[in-house]
């Protein structure tokens, strides 16, 4: 039944866009579309932009479609009775589906997946797909929760190039395929933080900025909540990996959000060690205030 459902979705289902309702029109973010490495910079240089969109629309469309269809597979699984560990089964099925589709549609590309062994040949590859088949496994296993996601990102020669974050239970897929400006700012400065392990830093930031804290599950759900106007910023410290943030970062940058690591450096992907333990994503209107506060708190902690 699941195989029939997914084949039907893959061949016939129209794309959904997570932010259409927040914009007058769909447009490509010119600031990102025009981003190219400065003269004399190699494509793998640490100074290269975090996100340079691929000029092939098919890559953006594929990322969107993969995330959305894997999300439909997970929704179907969630409705099946009798699973003692639906999260583990969801991880497995989604990973198998994504790997199979990438092998068929992009056979020459490498893949880095949370749920599969790390093939180190990716380090010599020009194109690498970075995927999290089910981000927010805990929330997926809890009936009624919508804050879990599927992440699909494409990295090309030093920079993220395409990405999609599907929030299947919310009926939304955000991607770099067609982008829109962020939705209006929330009425109060709101920080999205991990539901299971909120870092102490977020509490310090909230106190300094007189902000409220909104706990949430998946990293992708939190990043897209910033894009959709539910939150002002998503701040994380204490441990993550490339698959947790690659797709959210690509989508955030394509839609005009701001991204950095806590120390002010840029996140880098397809590294030998995929650990990428901290991240901050925020709305443009909150960037200056938030970055100043982060700099003050992190410099104080480093003394």
For residue 245, give both structure tokens: 């943030």
User: What pLDDT does 299 receive?
Assistant: 78
Residue 245 neighbours by CB under 8 Å, 6+ apart: 219, 223, 267, 276, 279
Residue 8 in this model has a pLDDT that exceeds 70 = no
CB 281 within 8 A of CB 228: no
Bigger pLDDT: 114 or 11?
Answer: 114
- The model's confidence at residue 216, banded by pLDDT at 50, 70 and 90, is very high
Helices 200-209 and 284-301, axial angle in degrees (round to 10):
120
pLDDT digits (tens, 9 = 90+) for 18-73: 443 453 222 233 233 333 333 333 344 566 799 999 999 999 999 999 999 999 99
pLDDT digits (tens, 9 = 90+) for 281-299: 999 999 999 999 999 998 7
């Amino acid at each position: 039944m699941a195989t029939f459902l997914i084949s039907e979705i893959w061949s016939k289902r129209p794309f959904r866009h997570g932010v259409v309702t927040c914009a007058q029109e769909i447009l490509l973010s010119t600031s990102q579309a025009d981003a190219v490495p400065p003269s004399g910079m190699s494509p793998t240089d640490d100074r290269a932009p975090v996100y340079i969109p691929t000029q092939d629309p098919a890559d953006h469309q594929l990322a969107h479609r993969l995330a959305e269809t894997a999300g439909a597979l997970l929704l179907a699984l969630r409705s099946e009775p009798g699973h003692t560990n639906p999260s583990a089964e969801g991880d497995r099925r989604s990973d198998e589906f994504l790997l199979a589709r990438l092998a068929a549609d992009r056979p020459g590309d490498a893949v880095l997946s949370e749920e599969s062994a790390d093939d180190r040949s990716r380090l010599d590859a020009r194109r690498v797909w970075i995927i999290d088949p089910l981000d927010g496994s805990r929330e997926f296993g809890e009936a009624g929760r919508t804050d879990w996601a599927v992440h699909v990102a494409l990295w090309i020669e030093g920079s993220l190039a395409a990405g999609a974050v599907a929030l299947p239970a919310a009926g939304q897929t955000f991607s770099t395929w067609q982008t829109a400006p962020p939705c209006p700012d929330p009425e109060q400065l709101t920080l999205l933080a991990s539901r299971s392990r909120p870092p102490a830093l977020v509490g310090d930031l909230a106190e300094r900025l007189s902000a409220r804290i909104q706990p949430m599950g998946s990293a992708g759900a939190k990043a897209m909540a910033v894009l959709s106007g539910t939150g002002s910023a998503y701040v994380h410290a204490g441990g993550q990996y490339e698959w947790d943030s690659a797709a959210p970062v690509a989508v955030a940058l394509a839609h005009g959000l701001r991204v950095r690591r806590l120390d002010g450096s840029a996140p880098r992907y397809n590294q030998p060690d995929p650990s990428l333990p901290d991240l901050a994503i925020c709305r443009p209107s909150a960037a200056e205030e938030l970055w100043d506060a982060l700099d003050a708190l992190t410099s104080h902690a480093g003394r």
